[in-house]
A and B are shown apart, each in its own frame.
Chain A
Amino acid sequence: MISGTVIIATEICKGCELCIASCPQESLGLSTSINRKGYRYATLLRNNCTGCVNCALVCPDSAITVYREIKSTKRQSQSAQPTVATQTA
């Protein structure tokens, strides 16, 4: 399975939980601490993220950046050429 991860801008997040409901892997949850605005923010609970981008698509505050593992064949070609194609869904 392809592995991925998300980085959530915790100070931007308003804890609406839409990303949590959209995650097919159930990787996301709310934090136990609060951010500066007073919201419990979304956070990655398990590291079974596949980088499917669903959470970022429904995030109203664009707080989520999604990373996905580079396939080994692609990684070799990239080491020769450092340009990275940013694919957006």
Chain B
Amino acid sequence: MSTTMNGTMEIVYEKPKTLTDNPTHYCPGCGHGVIHRVLMEVINEMGIAEQTVGVAPVGCSVFAYNYMNIDMQEAAHGRASAVATGVRRVLPDKFVFSYQGDGDLAAIGTGETIHTINRGENILMVFVNNGIYGMTGGQMAPTSLCGMITSTTPYGRDEHFIGHPLKITEMIAQLPGAYYVARHSVHTPAAVRKLKKAFKASFESQKEKKGTCFIEVVSNCPSGWKMNPLEANEWMEKNMFPYFPPGDIKLPATMK
């Protein structure tokens, strides 16, 4: 596509080259598409597409490697951070990121997540939190909110029986290996811009081998939440943000 239109208009925004032309399998309005694009935009703008290795998870974003036009590796359920550790150890000069959802990172992969960050592996971990198992039909995830109706908690999540939603981002921020921990969202243009800055800062810090960067993205799941995309974003702001407030959780002194 040309960069100008009739010589009077110029492109100010287009799909980055680091995304493939495959149409995504995500539901309409799903946050995954935006997060994929923002991540790939950062890689494209930094010119590190040839030096980046991504690790895809199990969950809705299991086909992330079909959409990200960089070197990707698929990991077993919950083990994306462990695979990323291996990639990092073998290829110490590359940029490595793992991309996981809440059912992957905060449930079956809790052990791997904690130990990867405790070792301070020099990787970026992207954690997409939508409070539900989207891929398998909207079951309760560890991050489902109290009272939230899912297909396995039809009367709402009872915290006395099942426990409280897991604030894994706050938890891992306590670990000495965590360098930069932040929570963002993608429901508004301003939030997308902030997330982009966070991804950029994370990749910059990888150059200096500072430690694990952990970015949680509070996202929506219109299908799992049984809402349309606009209602889902509204619901997220109203219900998810009080429990999972966006902002920096552990900010290194150099980024302040």
Contacts and interface: CB of A to CB of B under 8 A. Distances in A.
Given A16-B229, A57-B193, A70-B4, A4 B12 contact: yes
B188 A65 contact: no
Interface string B3-16: 11101111111111
A87 interface: yes
A81 interface: no
B15 A62 contact: yes
Interface in A55-69: 56-62, 64-69
Contacts of B27: 14
Interface string A61-86: 11011111110000100000000101
B59 interface: no
B192 A57 contact: yes
A48 interface: no
A66 B13 contact: yes
Nearest to B26: A60
Given A60-B29, A61-B24, A88 B229 contact: no
Contacts of A51: 12
Contacts of B7: 70, 75
Interface in B133-190: 186-189
Nearest to A15: B28
Contact of B189 (A53, A61, A62, A67): A53
Contacts of A57: 13, 34, 189, 192-193
Contact of A88 (B12, B23, B30): B12
Given A18-B29, A22-B188, A60-B30, 6 more contacts: A4-B12, A17-B228, A65-B14, A70-B7, A70-B9, A87-B12
7 contacts: A53-B13, A53-B189, A58-B187, A61-B24, A66-B13, A84-B4, A84-B11
Interface of B: 1, 3-5, 7-16, 19, 23-24, 26-34, 37, 41, 45, 186-189, 192-193, 222, 228-230, 233
Interface of A: 4-5, 11-12, 14-18, 21-22, 39, 51, 53-54, 56-62, 64-70, 75, 84, 86-89
